[in-house]
Amino acid sequence: MKFSQLSIYLDQLDSTSSRIEITKILSTLLKSAQDNEIDKIIYLVLGRLAPQYHGLVFNIADQLMLQSLSLCYATDLGEVKKLYRSLGDLGLVAEKLKKEKTPQHHPKPLSVIDVFNRLKTIALDEGEGSQDRKITEMARLLSELDGLSVRFVTRIPIGKLRLGFSDKTIIDALSWQQNADKQFSQAIKKAYDVLPDIGLLARLIKQSGIENATKNIKPIIGTPVMPMLAQRLKSPAEMIKKMGEVAIEPKFDGLRLQIHFQKNKPTKAFTRNLNETSWMFPELESIGQKIKANSAIFDCEAVGLSENSKKMVNFQTTMTRRRKHEVLSHSQKTPIRFQVFDLLFLNDKSLLHLSYEERRKLLKEIVTDKNLLIVDEYLVTSSPEVITQKHKEWIKKGLEGIIVKQVNSEYVPGRTGWRWVKMKEEEQSKAKLKDTVDCIIMGYSFGKGKRSGFGMGQFLAGIKDQETVKTITKVGTGLTDEQFRTLKKRLKKLETSQKPKEYIPGIKSLLPDFWVIPNLVVELAADEITKSPGHSSGFALRFPRLVRFRDDKSPSDATTLSEIKKLFQLQ
């Protein structure tokens, strides 16, 4: 497929917000794609070059792209910047310059694979002089494309393609191309949860059909499995009623991690939002000496410890490990213990279909360490009173609460059924709501008085509803002065002149002064959830305050509208 053909589809997708229309357009596009290009087409329409867990980024900011446009169209940089201020979209700037200026090279029909490979080369270019090379190569690529293609190829490297859909809509489109409906979406989603590379999955479906491609999917070392998540229930009595016999585990205030071990290969670690963070944990280099296995995938919580007392520290302190510089120094200041609670894969065999107790038995057998890898304790019971007792006991020990798990349950990625249920107590937030809410920051507004110096006074937060983000609250409390300053800097980089397509705004008085692209997730506490005609979700958080920034979560991990409805009923 020529990239100019793909651009026509991109233009159609850019021009509609209808979910059904987007699915139909994508279905037609995927049906016309060849085996060797369908994965690349999918990555490009999602604005990336690989599955999310690869962590491949362009490192091209707006300023660098402005220089590429200046070079490509032999136009003064000041003039390009002026045009950008006027149009507010570098893709439109590039398209306008293409029409008005004479390019240095005549356009030639590049294929999707050509453009993909050249963008990947630009993204992988690192080291001394790489910024100048990126500017030059980006300019050269743009000069060889038509006007419509230029609009989209300019947006992709700076993270501004944003067509308003994610992997979930691609899954529906893959089903739609087979039967003009979502009949096969569930089967594809089940396979995707085990192998979350939507490009690879699409290629397998293209080659062998949906049934053959999805029936034998199993975990692969180095590719994170979507984590199994806990639901909420009102009381221990209801837990026993819905779940029967359960296992009670402590809930730690740490970083959810999936550890992938393969003998004689580097050990990898992934967060719950599929980001690889192996570099944060140099301790993992010695994991092979602490387990009896050739290969394994562990589900665990990375818990930071104080340097001297070895007592558990809070999540924010644990996350100081994120700094890529002086990793060894930070690992010494904040030692880590991995509280392991599940085993997904062992010696080239998937364990997802085994029961909780069968997986725990194997886990206990293969972990020989007592310091770095700690297999969580658990207690099996059918008594609501025992659940309450253990919850109070672990809260007193400084833990977050408990996780209650059905003893005969398989490991099912995502938040489905009543297999796992969490029971927390937000002591520090002093919240009356039984659980916190993970929200996406949608925009922010100017501050008044003291906060005018920060450049912001409050932010608008939203929750997920399918592929859209709906408003639920504005937050201006719970942040320190330093957090306000840091947040403003982060949001400034995410500002966009136009409201993102996936955002459903509330009433006019709730609109922010500045929109930002969906990127930052925050954990909020509140006194209660109330019904609200002003917010697009139909609900509002009463007295919301920031508990912490959740850099370990992506927008896809945010609380959903259906979860808010359940929390509302649990009050």
CATH number of the domain enclosing 565: 2.40.50.140
Q: pTM of the full predicted structure?
A: 0.87
In a domain? residue 386: yes
Same domain, 410 and 498: no
Q: Which helix (H) or strand (E) holds 469?
A: strand 468-475
Same domain, 342 and 444: no
User: What CATH number is associated with residue 327?
Assistant: 3.30.470.30
Q: Is the Cα dihedral 467, 179, 14, 120 positive or negative?
A: positive
Same domain, 372 and 290: yes
Backbone angles phi, psi at 529, to 5 degrees: -105, 130
In a domain? residue 332: yes
* 323 — pLDDT class (breaks 50, 70, 90): low
Cβ within 8 Å of residue 182, ≥6 positions away: 172, 175, 176
SS3 of 28, please?
helix
pLDDT at 331: 65
- Residue span of the structural domain in which 359 resides: 236-424
Same domain, 512 and 565: yes
Report the pLDDT averaged over residues 232-238: 89
Domain boundary among 389, 424, 459: 424
In a domain? residue 295: yes
In a domain? residue 346: yes
Q: Domain total for the chain?
A: 2
pLDDT at 485: 87
In angstroms, the CA 182 to CA 184 distance is: 6
In angstroms, the CA 38 to CA 212 distance is: 18
Same domain, 484 and 519: yes
Same domain, 495 and 538: yes
* 338 — pLDDT class (breaks 50, 70, 90): very high
SS3 of 271, please?
strand
Does residue 251 contact residue 258 with C-beta atoms inside 8 Å?
no
Same domain, 508 and 415: no
List the one residue out of 285, 282, 370 whose CA is nearest residue 334. 282
pLDDT at 365: 96
In angstroms, the CA 151 to CA 87 distance is: 12
In angstroms, the CA 123 to CA 143 distance is: 18
pLDDT at 184: 94
Same domain, 415 and 459: no
pLDDT at 425: 65
Same domain, 522 and 566: yes
pLDDT at 428: 40
pLDDT in tens, 489-533: 999 989 998 899 999 999 999 999 999 999 999 999 999 999 999
The DSSP code sequence of 306-331 is: -TTT--B--HHHHGGGG-SSSHHHHH
Q: Is the pLDDT of residue 103 over 60?
A: no
Same domain, 564 and 450: yes
Please tell me the number of Cα atoms within 13 Å of 420 on its side-chain side.
21
In a domain? residue 345: yes
Cβ within 8 Å of residue 509, ≥6 positions away: 534
Report the pLDDT averaged over residues 70-96: 95
In a domain? residue 460: yes
* 305 — pLDDT class (breaks 50, 70, 90): confident
In a domain? residue 176: no
pLDDT in tens, 240-280: 999 999 999 999 989 999 999 999 999 999 999 899 999 88
Q: In angstroms, how far is CA 1 from the centroid of its own chain?
A: 30
Report the pLDDT averaged over residues 136-164: 94
pLDDT at 53: 92
Q: Which amino acid is at 264?
A: N
Report the pLDDT averaged over residues 174-201: 93
pLDDT in tens, 423-462: 876 434 455 787 899 999 999 998 776 666 777 889 999 9
Same domain, 407 and 541: no
Same domain, 326 and 469: no
In a domain? residue 229: no
pLDDT at 455: 78
Backbone angles phi, psi at 87, to 5 degrees: -90, -30
Does residue 428 contact residue 547 with C-beta atoms inside 8 Å?
yes
Q: Is the Cα dihedral 438, 444, 448, 450 positive or negative?
A: positive
Just list the catalytic residues: 251
Report the percent of the chain where pLDDT is more than 70.
Answer: 94
List the one residue out of 436, 428, 416 whose CA is nearest residue 558. 436
Domain boundary among 424, 449, 481: 424
SS3 of 248, please?
strand
Q: Which amino acid is at 314?
A: N
In angstroms, the CA 262 to CA 280 distance is: 18
Q: What would the two tokens of residue 362 be? A: 């194997």
In this structure, the dihedral spanned by the alpha carbons of residues 285, 290, 296 and 300, taken in order and rounded to 10 degrees, is -80
Task: Pick the range with the lowest mean pLDDT from 64-68, 492-496, 559-563.
Answer: 492-496
Domain boundary among 383, 400, 424: 424
Report the pLDDT averaged over residues 157-180: 91
* 316 — pLDDT class (breaks 50, 70, 90): confident
